[in-house]
Structure 1
Amino acid sequence: MMKVKIISVGKLKEKYLKDGISEYVKRLSRFAQVELIELVDEKTPDNASEKENEQILSKEGQRILAKLSERDFVFAMAIEGKLISSEGLSETFERAMQQSSTLVFIIGGSLGLAPKVKKRANELISFGRITLPHQLMRLVLAEQIYRGFMIREGSPYHK
């Protein structure tokens, strides 16, 4: 069976977001085994220097990379990534599934993703140029993954 992993940095606290994500994970379970992985985020001082920010990103990046296997097809959510439509995402799934049985989606912390994580990614994806709180991004991503699978099977859900 197909596997989908969503790796995110930081703890999700809001109940309404947890409920929404749970709903999409439940819906996705007919297509794939879904695993949600929350990694600890580093505390970022308000007036952190560029060097401190790089160190924080590096530590978070190491935690993320430790959760990946060589065979995983990795999608990293990045503001500078490829702007993609829901249909485009579904087509990308199609290609990814020919290469791997595990699709991994990564959402960084408040500083984004370390360069080494972006380099490991097979695809850098953006859902637009707006900035979303990374907790809300988890819900948006879960819905879009579900939508991508529904598009693949020609479901009216996407209409």
Structure 2
Amino acid sequence: MKLTIIAVGTKMPAWVQSGFQEYEKRLPREWKPNVRELAVAKRSNNANVEKLKQQEGEQILAALPRNAYVIALDVLGKKVDTHSLSTNMKNWQELGQDIAILIGGPDGLSEACLKRANQLISLSDLTLPHPLVRIVLIEQLYRGWTILNNHPYHK
């Protein structure tokens, strides 16, 4: 299994990179993600948000690994707690497929990305800025891994 995180947004601030790297380095090799950063569609005051999401969605779909099992992070997705995320992680490993987790841009994911997803997950009822989602996601992946491996971090 290879894990890919496809995220809209490039040139993340140093605090995002640092936070992400802190948890990424703790993960074992099989859970270290390949991160694909994609450009945010150019926004203006009169921009059509759906068209921008569609443009970003086309980039995301083009970046998907072939035959990947796709998890889309979306506010309307199934709410998961840490233990159910760790159960999901175990199930993903058992699929024998590459895994791709999608993080949308400022306006979320396109309808095409949501339809392509095998699973929709919400990390929080809160609206999180997409750079922060990267840190929350990688920390929760690490925490889920610690639960699966009886590591004391989660306690």
TM-score normalised according to structure 1 size: 0.90
Pairwise CA distance, 1:91: 0.5
Equivalent residue number for residue 82 of structure 2: 86
Task: Specify whether residues 79 and 64 from structure 1 end up closer, same or farther in structure 2 by C-alpha distance, changes over 3 A only.
Answer: same
Pairwise CA distance, 1:70: 4.0
Pairwise CA distance, 1:110: 0.6
Unaligned runs of 5+ in 2: none
Pick which of 29-38 and 146-155 moved more: 29-38
Equivalent residue number for residue 9 of structure 2: 10
Equivalent residue number for residue 134 of structure 1: 130
Find the residue that maps to 1:13 and give its secondary structure: coil
Cα-Cα RMSD: 1.5
CA contact (8 A) 1:74 1:120 kept: yes
Q: Distance in 2 between matches of 1:98 and 1:87?
A: 17
Indicate whether 1:24 and 2:23 are aligned.
yes
Deviation per CA, 1:12-66: give whole Å up to 9, x if none. 4311110111111111144434211100010122343xxx212111111111011
Indicate whether 1:55 and 2:51 are aligned.
yes
Counterpart of 1:44, as a letter, is R
Identity within the alignment, %: 39
TM-score normalised according to structure 2 size: 0.92
Equivalent residue number for residue 43 of structure 1: 42
**1:142-157 mapped onto 2 (5 Å cutoff):** 142-157=138-153
CA contact (8 A) 1:7 1:36 kept: yes
CA contact (8 A) 1:12 1:135 kept: no
Pairwise CA distance, 1:67: 1.4
Deviation per CA, 1:92-145: give whole Å up to 9, x if none. 111122223422111100110001101111111111211111001101101011
Q: Distance in 1 between matches of 2:11 and 2:79?
A: 26
CA contact (8 A) 2:57 2:113 kept: yes
Number of residue-to-residue matches in the alignment:
155
Equivalent residue number for residue 64 of structure 2: 68
